[in-house]
Amino acid sequence: MAGNENDALLAREVAELERLLAQVQCDGNRRDLTQLLTTKQQLLRASQANAVAADEPEPMTVDSTEPPTPTLPKPTPVKVGAHPAKPSDVGEDVHVYTEISRFGWEDEGYGKDKVMVHIMSGIDGVGDLPKENVSCHFTKDSFDLKILGLGGKNYRLVKHHLDKEINPSKSSFRVKKNRIAITLWKEDNHNTWMNLTAKNPNKPRGANSKDPAAGIMDMMKEMYDEGDDEMKRTIAKAWSESREKQAAGGAL
């Protein structure tokens, strides 16, 4: 009975890998899946062959030497996924994702608690999915949105190194019929976000830059971070006005 159960389990694994392989688009993932599928198929064939041999009557012989046990190939562990594991990943994720590249965001402003991220294109019908098919994991400097089984595909929007720290327990997301809104709750509402993610997360403050515009931006951010409330309000107002002018001129 144990052999039959093992064969049934291997057969299900082979069938699932064949389904995944039919959906894979990236060459690297296809290569890894093919390798794993081949190994599973070899194990299944060997197990079935052993089961057939065990069911056949033993021949009458005076030779008591038992036949050698066939050596099965050792399966090679293969990790399948569209993205390398990152701190925000919960467990091992074997799904293949399409990256969400079209979204918008806005900071409510100085003294306000929230930064909003809006996904309004390319996810029509997301509100009809089961609740468990849409999830968003938050850390103090990242969020990871996953959508499973939308139109036969899986979608993901993950952002690390956010411009400022957030409160993961207060951050949330909301699913509507054809869109998703993510609420990032600021750890400090006196902060104004210049960008959704930090431009140079590993760069020390005050480091020289060959890009004059980047140097000015770094200086403004340093003034903002170290300034008093009045200085922060002044810089936040100037930044908001600059963004409004860019939006009016058609800039993203």
pLDDT tens track for 173-189: 999 999 999 999 999 99
Prediction pTM value: 0.49
User: Are residues 188 and 89 both part of a single domain?
Assistant: yes
**Is position 69 within any domain?**
no
**Is position 235 within any domain?**
yes
**Is position 187 within any domain?**
yes
Domain end: 198, 222, 242, which one?
198
Q: Where are the beta strands (DSSP E) in the chain?
A: 98-99, 104-107, 114-119, 134-139, 142-150, 153-160, 172-175, 180-185
User: Are residues 191 and 113 both part of a single domain?
Assistant: yes
Average confidence (pLDDT) over 19-41 = 78
**Is position 64 within any domain?**
no
Q: Which residues are CB-neighbours of 70 under 8 A, at least 6 positions away? A: 46, 49, 50
Split at pLDDT 50, 70, 90, the class of 89 is very low
Range of the domain at 141: 81-198
User: Are residues 115 and 147 both part of a single domain?
Assistant: yes
User: Are residues 220 and 182 both part of a single domain?
Assistant: no
User: Are residues 44 and 134 both part of a single domain?
Assistant: no
Which of 12-21, 60-69, 201-210 has the largest mean confidence? Answer: 12-21
C-alpha 144/C-alpha 89 separation (Å) is 8
